[in-house]
Amino acid sequence: MGRRTCCCTVCTRTWTVLGCSNYPLPDAVVTMTSSGGIVSTGTTGADGTVVIPHGASSGSWSVSHPSGRFFTNSGTFTACTGATTQTVNLFAATGYRCCNLFGSGVANPYPVATTLTLTDGGGSMSVALAATCDFSVCSLRPNADNYAASCDVVADRLCYDSVSGTNVQLYKPPTIGTGSIQVTYTMANTASGWQLTQAYYWCVGTCYWEGDSCPTPTVSTKNKARYWRVPIACGSGSSAGGALLKSHVSTGYTINSLNPPNVTFHFASGNGFGPFDVIPGPVCTPTPTPTGNPYSSDVTIAA
């Protein structure tokens, strides 16, 4: 039961206060003021209820929450006739929305802010929450590992391979850059909870040769493959410099706090970015095929 104070008790009223999705709301403050000026108050417990003794006359009531995430609800009550019950719903205040950050399996009565704070390996940024309880945002993030200026490769030289009896075209790797990359974060509200995706552009499977002279024999000597992130603007499409869009979907999350809502999404590591040795031969086939690491292995959403 919650805390309560009163004077001149005649009867009792059991209050049940509900928040988002009709989940019981702890710490709501119920105030009853009788027409005779007697004030009785109580605070709901973990089950969202509180029993308040009060005087015999009718009066007014109000229910509020100290988080500031709810509008205050109010009304009147009639003269008591013994033990009575009353249920009150509190609704999300301006700047907040009832979106269950943790999925239907978690009883979360608290609304989330319509302006979220997303924190990844590059720092924090503000994100606007849509009315559908999801979002998509693209942001310039600080330099990550294995950054490239572009995916363009330059034909370096033709080398004769004595094994195949043919000339094989060798390439130089992409120019290495030192800037930032664009990362898109997309939040989807699924039946099992929110799912976060991070995406960026990368170079895929570029074959090149390290060295200033033709290897001998060319084909039977291992080539290299490098996988790079590149600074292509969000929404540019997959044709820019030969880059492709790489997406990582969260594999789970950790609830840090229900009130205020705070959750960290986790992303599985790939086997990194190049260079990678590949099977000898004219076709550059990485073994194992690099899947790439996410830009940030943990991303926290504070609401």
pLDDT of 211: 59
Q: What is the dihedral of CA 28, 34, 35, 36, to 10 degrees?
A: -140
Residues in CB range of 100: below 8 A, 6 or more apart: 20, 21, 106, 108, 193
Per-residue model confidence (pLDDT) at position 5: 47
How confident is the model at residue 217, as a pLDDT? 58
- Separation CA 303–CA 299 (nearest Å): 13
What is the per-residue pLDDT for 145?
A: 67
Q: How far apart, in whole angstroms, are the C-alpha atoms of residue 186 and residue 195?
A: 8
pLDDT at residue 87, as a whole number:
96
For the chain, percent helix, then strand, then coil, each to nearest 5? 0, 50, 50
DSSP state of 232: P
Is the Cβ–Cβ distance between 139 and 120 less than 8 Å?
no
Q: Is the peptide bond before 217 cis (omega within 30 degrees of 0)?
A: yes
Instruction: Return the structure tokens found at 219.
Output: 């084909």
pLDDT reported for residue 60 = 93
pLDDT reported for residue 197: 96
DSSP 8-state code for residue 130: P
From CA 207, how far away is CA 213, in angstroms rounded? Answer: 16
The SS3 assignment for 33 reads strand
The pLDDT, as a whole number, for residue 206 is 62
Give the largest Cα separation in the chain, rounded.
Answer: 106
Topology of domain 4-89, CATH: Immunoglobulin-like (2.60.40)
Residues of the chain with pLDDT under 50: 3-7, 220-222, 279-282
* Cα–Cα distance measured from residue 174 to residue 137, given in angstroms and rounded to the nearest whole number: 28
59 alpha-carbon distance from chain centroid: 46
The model's pTM: 0.80
CATH 2.60.40.1120 in the chain: give the residue spans: 4-89
Spatial distance between the Cα atoms of 297 and 121, rounded to a whole number of angstroms: 8
